[in-house]
Amino acid sequence: MRRSSLVGFPVLLCGGYFAFKWLLAASLDAERLVAVGGMYHWTAMTLLAIVSCVWLVREQQHTGSFWGDFKTLSQLLVLYAMMASGSVWGWNHLVAAESTALRKALRLAQIEEHTSSDAAYQAFVASQSQAGNPPELPNRQAYREQATAQVNWMLSGGVTLVLSLLTYLFAAILLALVATVLLHHIWGLSSLS
């Protein structure tokens, strides 16, 4: 089996992500679906790391050096991390764009409800201060502008792509490092040469 044959796994796993989300979209709320999607990608990356390790050993493709094998393992995981980030963006802003727009509209409606009048805003501030320490919130108009800008920013496509890319790249590097440590220092891959 050549290295290029492993590249099909990330494509297959990203396709599985869309099927997985599509099957669960009707039965889970949007926030839980985001968490389940993250668990899917973490599981897929772990599976990909295991398959890559098995491939390194069975096909004797290991380089004999820690950093060489780390590089080999991380290449496929980083590729998947980039594809996973694209799939998260694609799901939230293409496939489920209506759901994302609905979540945004609901949050903006909550902001509008809390800031529609001085009395509504005071009731909102009072409800926030029931936890003990009252928060220091700006005046009603400033709060409305800040909260609206925050919702628009957090639910934008660029932020979705960048945050998921950072998260999955970190996870890919961490998994590659752990897998390489296990291969070299626990199972003694360098002694198998």
Q: Taking the model in full, what pTM does it have?
A: 0.82
Spatial contact of 147 and 111, defined as CB atoms under 8 Å apart: yes
Render pLDDT for 127-148 as a digit per residue (tens, 0 to 9).
877 666 666 778 889 889 999 9
**Which of 102, 118, 114, 48 is CA-nearest to residue 76?**
48
Backbone torsions φ then ψ of 139, nearest 5 degrees: -65, 170
Identify the pLDDT of residue 4: 59
Render pLDDT for 8-46 as a digit per residue (tens, 0 to 9).
888 899 999 999 999 998 898 888 998 999 999 999 999
Burial class of residue 54 (count of CB atoms within 10 Å of its CB; 0-12, 13-18, 19+): exposed
Identify the pLDDT of residue 17: 94
